[in-house]
Protein backbone atom coordinates (compact mmCIF):
# COMPACT_ATOMS: atom_id res chain seq x y z
CA UNK A 1 0.00 0.00 0.00
CA UNK A 2 1.04 3.52 -0.71
CA UNK A 3 0.77 6.48 1.65
CA UNK A 4 0.64 9.59 -0.51
CA UNK A 5 0.79 12.24 2.21
CA UNK A 6 3.02 12.01 5.28
CA UNK A 7 5.09 14.35 7.42
CA UNK A 8 7.90 11.94 8.24
CA UNK A 9 11.07 13.79 7.34
CA UNK A 10 12.88 14.58 10.59
CA UNK A 11 12.75 18.26 11.42
CA UNK A 12 11.64 19.27 7.92
CA UNK A 13 8.38 20.81 9.16
CA UNK A 14 6.05 20.58 12.17
CA UNK A 15 5.53 16.85 11.48
CA UNK A 16 8.28 14.59 12.75
CA UNK A 17 10.31 16.38 15.41
CA UNK A 18 13.40 14.25 14.87
CA UNK A 19 14.96 11.05 13.69
CA UNK A 20 13.55 8.83 16.43
CA UNK A 21 10.00 9.97 15.65
CA UNK A 22 10.54 9.38 11.93
CA UNK A 23 11.87 5.87 12.55
CA UNK A 24 8.87 5.08 14.76
CA UNK A 25 6.51 6.44 12.10
CA UNK A 26 8.12 4.18 9.51
CA UNK A 27 7.88 1.18 11.83
CA UNK A 28 4.15 1.88 12.20
CA UNK A 29 3.86 2.16 8.42
CA UNK A 30 5.58 -1.20 7.97
CA UNK A 31 3.27 -2.82 10.51
CA UNK A 32 0.25 -1.45 8.64
CA UNK A 33 1.45 -2.98 5.37
CA UNK A 34 2.63 0.24 3.73
CA UNK A 35 5.40 -0.28 1.20
CA UNK A 36 5.81 3.26 -0.12
CA UNK A 37 5.52 6.61 1.65
CA UNK A 38 5.57 9.94 -0.10
CA UNK A 39 7.19 12.31 2.37
CA UNK A 40 5.41 15.64 1.98
CA UNK A 41 6.87 18.39 4.17
CA UNK A 42 4.95 21.65 4.06
CA UNK A 43 6.18 24.30 1.67
CA UNK A 44 4.66 27.76 2.12
CA UNK A 45 5.75 29.85 -0.87
CA UNK A 46 4.81 33.12 0.79
CA UNK A 47 7.06 32.62 3.80
CA UNK A 48 9.54 29.83 3.03
CA UNK A 49 12.66 30.52 1.05
CA UNK A 50 12.60 28.04 -1.82
CA UNK A 51 16.28 27.03 -1.87
CA UNK A 52 16.37 26.75 1.88
CA UNK A 53 13.32 24.47 1.81
CA UNK A 54 14.96 22.21 -0.77
CA UNK A 55 18.17 22.11 1.24
CA UNK A 56 16.36 21.28 4.48
CA UNK A 57 14.32 18.58 2.75
CA UNK A 58 17.41 17.05 1.19
CA UNK A 59 19.35 16.90 4.45
CA UNK A 60 16.34 15.49 6.35
CA UNK A 61 15.78 12.87 3.64
CA UNK A 62 19.43 11.83 3.52
CA UNK A 63 19.64 11.61 7.28
CA UNK A 64 16.53 9.42 7.39
CA UNK A 65 17.77 7.09 4.65
CA UNK A 66 21.10 6.79 6.40
CA UNK A 67 19.46 5.53 9.60
CA UNK A 68 16.47 3.60 8.24
CA UNK A 69 16.96 0.01 7.20
CA UNK A 70 13.36 -1.18 6.94
CA UNK A 71 11.27 -2.13 3.95
CA UNK A 72 9.38 1.10 3.22
CA UNK A 73 10.41 3.03 0.15
CA UNK A 74 10.47 6.77 0.84
CA UNK A 75 10.09 9.41 -1.85
CA UNK A 76 10.66 13.07 -1.04
CA UNK A 77 7.84 15.26 -2.28
CA UNK A 78 6.16 18.29 -0.73
CA UNK A 79 2.79 19.61 0.36
CA UNK A 80 2.74 22.90 -1.48
CA UNK A 81 0.48 25.62 -0.13
CA UNK A 82 -1.27 27.19 -3.07
CA UNK A 83 -0.96 30.88 -3.73
CA UNK A 84 -1.70 33.04 -6.72
CA UNK A 85 1.27 33.14 -9.07
CA UNK A 86 2.91 29.93 -7.84
CA UNK A 87 3.32 28.97 -11.49
CA UNK A 88 5.97 31.69 -11.82
CA UNK A 89 8.30 30.02 -9.31
CA UNK A 90 11.46 29.03 -11.12
CA UNK A 91 12.39 25.39 -10.58
CA UNK A 92 9.07 24.46 -9.00
CA UNK A 93 9.36 21.01 -10.59
CA UNK A 94 11.60 20.18 -7.62
CA UNK A 95 8.44 20.18 -5.51
CA UNK A 96 6.95 17.33 -7.53
CA UNK A 97 7.28 13.71 -6.53
CA UNK A 98 10.70 12.73 -7.94
CA UNK A 99 10.59 11.36 -11.45
CA UNK A 100 7.05 12.67 -12.01
CA UNK A 101 5.24 15.95 -12.64
CA UNK A 102 2.81 15.24 -9.79
CA UNK A 103 2.56 17.90 -7.09
CA UNK A 104 0.57 17.67 -3.87
CA UNK A 105 -1.13 21.05 -3.45
CA UNK A 106 -2.80 22.32 -0.30
CA UNK A 107 -5.62 24.82 -0.75
CA UNK A 108 -5.98 27.76 1.63
CA UNK A 109 -8.78 27.20 4.14
CA UNK A 110 -10.40 30.53 3.46
CA UNK A 111 -10.70 32.84 0.51
CA UNK A 112 -10.50 30.68 -2.57
CA UNK A 113 -10.06 33.25 -5.33
CA UNK A 114 -10.44 33.13 -9.09
CA UNK A 115 -6.71 33.94 -9.18
CA UNK A 116 -6.03 30.50 -7.73
CA UNK A 117 -8.13 28.86 -10.43
CA UNK A 118 -6.03 30.66 -13.04
CA UNK A 119 -2.83 29.63 -11.27
CA UNK A 120 -3.94 26.00 -11.40
CA UNK A 121 -4.69 26.36 -15.11
CA UNK A 122 -1.23 27.78 -15.81
CA UNK A 123 0.44 25.13 -13.64
CA UNK A 124 -1.21 22.46 -15.76
CA UNK A 125 -1.16 24.06 -19.21
CA UNK A 126 2.11 25.98 -19.15
CA UNK A 127 4.23 24.14 -16.60
CA UNK A 128 2.96 20.63 -17.29
CA UNK A 129 2.28 19.97 -13.61
CA UNK A 130 -0.33 17.47 -12.45
CA UNK A 131 -1.66 18.96 -9.21
CA UNK A 132 -3.22 16.60 -6.68
CA UNK A 133 -5.34 18.48 -4.15
CA UNK A 134 -4.41 17.49 -0.60
CA UNK A 135 -7.12 16.27 1.79
CA UNK A 136 -10.08 17.42 -0.30
CA UNK A 137 -12.32 16.13 2.49
CA UNK A 138 -11.56 19.32 4.46
CA UNK A 139 -12.96 21.88 2.06
CA UNK A 140 -16.22 23.25 0.74
CA UNK A 141 -17.45 20.52 -1.64
CA UNK A 142 -18.64 23.15 -4.12
CA UNK A 143 -15.11 24.52 -4.49
CA UNK A 144 -13.69 21.02 -4.84
CA UNK A 145 -16.32 19.98 -7.39
CA UNK A 146 -15.45 23.02 -9.50
CA UNK A 147 -11.76 22.12 -9.39
CA UNK A 148 -12.51 18.50 -10.29
CA UNK A 149 -14.51 19.88 -13.19
CA UNK A 150 -11.35 21.63 -14.40
CA UNK A 151 -9.48 18.34 -14.45
CA UNK A 152 -7.78 18.50 -11.07
CA UNK A 153 -7.35 15.35 -9.01
CA UNK A 154 -7.76 14.79 -5.28
CA UNK A 155 -6.21 13.04 -2.31
CA UNK A 156 -8.27 11.96 0.71
CA UNK A 157 -7.00 11.70 4.24
CA UNK A 158 -7.61 8.43 6.02
CA UNK A 159 -9.03 10.18 9.08
CA UNK A 160 -12.54 11.04 7.77
CA UNK A 161 -12.82 7.61 6.16
CA UNK A 162 -12.06 5.97 9.49
CA UNK A 163 -15.09 7.57 11.12
CA UNK A 164 -18.61 6.27 10.82
CA UNK A 165 -20.26 9.65 10.38
CA UNK A 166 -20.12 11.51 7.10
CA UNK A 167 -17.68 9.22 5.37
CA UNK A 168 -20.26 8.03 2.88
CA UNK A 169 -20.43 11.54 1.47
CA UNK A 170 -16.90 11.02 0.14
CA UNK A 171 -17.74 7.93 -1.87
CA UNK A 172 -19.13 9.70 -4.98
CA UNK A 173 -15.74 11.39 -5.45
CA UNK A 174 -14.02 8.03 -5.30
CA UNK A 175 -16.54 6.36 -7.60
CA UNK A 176 -16.29 9.32 -9.98
CA UNK A 177 -12.56 8.67 -10.39
CA UNK A 178 -11.46 12.01 -8.90
CA UNK A 179 -9.61 10.55 -5.92
CA UNK A 180 -6.21 9.26 -6.91
CA UNK A 181 -4.60 8.77 -3.54
CA UNK A 182 -5.11 8.04 0.14
CA UNK A 183 -2.87 9.65 2.72
CA UNK A 184 -2.24 9.25 6.43
CA UNK A 185 -1.14 12.90 6.79
CA UNK A 186 0.80 11.51 9.74
CA UNK A 187 2.55 14.17 11.82
CA UNK A 188 3.63 12.51 15.08
CA UNK A 189 3.27 8.92 16.30
CA UNK A 190 0.13 9.13 18.43
CA UNK A 191 -2.38 8.09 15.78
CA UNK A 192 0.04 6.15 13.64
CA UNK A 193 -1.63 4.16 10.89
CA UNK A 194 -4.72 3.03 12.82
CA UNK A 195 -6.97 5.38 10.85
CA UNK A 196 -5.35 4.39 7.59
CA UNK A 197 -6.07 0.72 8.28
CA UNK A 198 -9.67 1.47 9.26
CA UNK A 199 -10.11 3.50 6.08
CA UNK A 200 -8.76 0.65 3.96
CA UNK A 201 -11.15 -1.78 5.65
CA UNK A 202 -14.09 0.53 5.04
CA UNK A 203 -13.20 1.18 1.40
CA UNK A 204 -12.66 -2.45 0.40
CA UNK A 205 -12.43 -2.67 -3.41
CA UNK A 206 -12.63 1.12 -3.61
CA UNK A 207 -9.22 1.25 -1.95
CA UNK A 208 -7.81 -0.99 -4.69
CA UNK A 209 -9.19 1.42 -7.29
CA UNK A 210 -7.57 4.41 -5.55
CA UNK A 211 -4.29 2.56 -5.14
CA UNK A 212 -4.19 1.61 -8.78
CA UNK A 213 -4.78 5.23 -9.81
CA UNK A 214 -1.95 6.36 -7.50
CA UNK A 215 0.48 3.79 -8.86
CA UNK A 216 -0.43 4.69 -12.42
CA UNK A 217 0.18 8.36 -11.69
CA UNK A 218 3.54 7.59 -10.11
CA UNK A 219 4.62 4.83 -12.46
CA UNK A 220 7.82 6.67 -13.39
CA UNK A 221 8.78 6.98 -9.73
CA UNK A 222 7.96 3.49 -8.47
FE1 LIG B 1 -0.28 17.45 5.44
Going from the Cα of 196 to the center of ligand 1, the distance in angstroms, rounded, reads 14
Going from the Cα of 115 to the center of ligand 1, the distance in angstroms, rounded, reads 23
CATH code for the part of the protein at 2-217: 3.20.20.140
For the beta sheet containing 2-6, the strands, ordered from the edge strand earlier in sequence to the opposite edge, are 2-6, 36-39, 73-76
Beta bridge partner(s), residue 106: 81
Entry pTM: 0.96
- Strands 73-76 and 36-39, by their bridges, are parallel
Domain ranges of the chain: 2-217
Q: Is the pLDDT of residue 54 over 90?
A: yes
Going from the Cα of 79 to the center of ligand 1, the distance in angstroms, rounded, reads 6
Going from the Cα of 6 to the center of ligand 1, the distance in angstroms, rounded, reads 6
Going from the Cα of 128 to the center of ligand 1, the distance in angstroms, rounded, reads 23
pLDDT tens-digit series, residues 16-42: 999 999 999 999 999 999 999 999 999
pLDDT tens-digit series, residues 162-192: 998 879 999 999 999 999 999 999 999 999 9
Q: Which residues surround ligand 1, an ion (CB under 5 A)?
A: 79, 185
Going from the Cα of 175 to the center of ligand 1, the distance in angstroms, rounded, reads 24
- b/e per residue 8-37 (b: at least 16 CB within 10 A): bbbbbbebbeebebbbebbebbeebebebb
For the beta sheet containing 130-133, the strands, ordered from the edge strand earlier in sequence to the opposite edge, are 42-43, 79-81, 102-106, 130-133, 153-157, 179-183
Amino acid sequence: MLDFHAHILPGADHGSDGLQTSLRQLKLAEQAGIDTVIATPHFYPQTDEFDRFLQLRRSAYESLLEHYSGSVRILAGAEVHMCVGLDHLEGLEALCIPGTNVMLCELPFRSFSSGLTETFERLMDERGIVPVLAHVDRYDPTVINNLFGMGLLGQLNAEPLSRTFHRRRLLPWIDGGYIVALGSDIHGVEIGYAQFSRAVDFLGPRFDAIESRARKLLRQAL
